[in-house]
Amino acid sequence: MKRVFLLICVLAFAGTAFAGFSIGFKQTPVPTSVSLGEDGLKTEDVYLLRLGAMASPQFRIEGYLGYGTEHYELDPVVAGAEYDGSVMVFGAGGYYVIEAPANTSFSIGAQFLYGKTSGEYGTSWDAETTSWSLDPLMRIDFAIPGAERLAFFTEYGIRYANATTKVTEGTTITETVWSGWQTYSPPNVLAGAYFIF
């Protein structure tokens, strides 16, 4: 009974401490593999489920979760030369609103993402990449007048990323590491959208 009472108290506090719950999506480039040479870090665009809450009128927190799969033929002539891969991403972000004119808000903040990518190249070799990134961002949220519960946003900034790819080919294991700074921008003009409850 004490546990049930404690759970009810925690849920009641969460409802009063946080307001403006929202759910939506965002499209984000996620580090998926590292190669030697000029290419270095390779990213893929992944759609993330975005859950948000307003901790105060000026501060917004968000959680992210995404999953994607990929399948294609490496060589149509060679039987079994196919690639099967998947990527799993999760993370969190926080944004401080610096200005909020009508139906728009300008904010600064950061997001942290952790990703794990695995791929199988036919029967010859497997690859696994773990990555994390920290992105200080500037963000603009805006809503259409009359439909203020539906909001769109875009974000730009810089990214520090670290990724490690481990390739297993037979009994040989090769590990490649990349870390460094990049510019960050969404794949499209809009980074995502969300609905406020």
The pLDDT of 166-190, averaged and rounded, is 89
- Say how far apart CA 80 and CA 121 lie, in whole Å: 9
The pLDDT of 143-152, averaged and rounded, is 88
Domain limits of the chain?
A: 20-196
The string of pLDDT tens digits covering residues 81-100 is 777 889 999 999 999 999 98
pTM score? 0.83
Half-sphere exposure of residue 53: CA atoms within 13 angstroms, side-chain side: 9
- According to the model, what pLDDT value does residue 146 have? 85
* Topology at the third CATH level for domain 20-196: Porin (2.40.160)
